[in-house]
Amino acid sequence: MATETTKDGTNHRKRHSLLFFVEITKLSYKSLFILWAGLAVFFAFAYFTMETYFPAHAPTQLSNLPPIFRFLNALYYSIITATSTGYGDITPMGFSKALASAQSISALFVFAVFVTKLVSQRQDLALQEVHKLTYEDIFHNTRSDLFVVRKDLDTVMEEAKTHSKLTEESWEILMIAYQQCQSLISEIPEFYDGGNAFYTIDSKREQLLLEAVNRTLHRVNKTLDVLSASGINWAEHEPSMRELVELMNVIDRTTPVWQKRSPYQKQEAFEDIIRLKMKTHEWVERALPS
């Protein structure tokens, strides 16, 4: 039992020590400087007191001076010790050596925390910039890729109007367009992910994204209209039909999440997306056999 108590006590002290170091790292630059300066003044008083009552253990060059000059010399020696400069004009004697050692260690620790925080802050700023540039790139790529989807659908419609049928390559283009549209729309809520602390899409960019999705879904419906008008039974092409149904499922899953995460309350734009999805759903229901 005694051993267990000792272990528990040791672990408890270790936890307190770790918490102490963690709390110091949370201090602001101003607080760290005040702590460093406070330690310098504290040790200056310690050297001054030691010279007053135990001169044999005090740093040299502090004796035979008026009290105010003794304290100023003690403060000077304390600052020189804290900065590890060590001019040598004042040297520790006796117990003041232990004080000087403790001050050097504590001052270096506070300085190390200060430098670490400074480096960490610069790294955080650099990381934020990288995240911002990355998400900006993803945003522009998303809009560009949705534009590519619309161009692919235009190609399919043009062939349907011209030849009243689609080649295998065109069916492949149509299927890939549906797949790409699924992927792009499903990734949109990541712009609002709570875990992304470095980037938040603004209202203007969100509007551009909503318009891009709206145009793409409108183009999907137009494609189905053109294929039907050209006498092409697009519902019989199983691969593309399967991807079209999955696209509707992705919209059903993604739109509520997107709308919930958006802070800009563009309800009408989201309703337009749902309306276009329902129109596509009606196309599918009419095309499928009863």
State the DSSP code for 8.
H
Q: How many CB atoms lie within 10 A of CB 62?
A: 23
State the DSSP code for 201.
-
Q: Contact at 8 Å (CB) between 210 and 269?
A: yes
Task: Provide the CATH number for the domain formed by 2-94 in this structure.
Answer: 1.10.287
Q: What share of the chain is helix, strand, coil (3-state, %, to 5)?
A: 80, 0, 20
Q: Where are the domains of the chain?
A: 2-94, 124-287
Match 């310098």 to its residue by tokens.
Answer: 40
State the DSSP code for 157.
H
| Pairwise CA distance, residues 194 & 197, whole Å | 7
The per-residue pLDDT string of the chain (290 residues; one tens digit each, 9 = 90 and over) reads 444 445 555 555 555 555 555 677 777 888 888 888 999 999 999 999 988 888 888 888 766 778 888 899 899 999 999 988 878 888 888 898 999 999 999 888 888 888 888 887 777 777 777 777 778 888 899 999 999 999 999 999 999 999 999 999 999 999 999 999 999 999 898 887 655 555 677 888 899 999 999 999 999 999 999 999 999 999 999 999 999 999 999 999 999 999 988 888 788 999 999 999 999 999 988 887 65
pTM for this predicted structure? 0.62
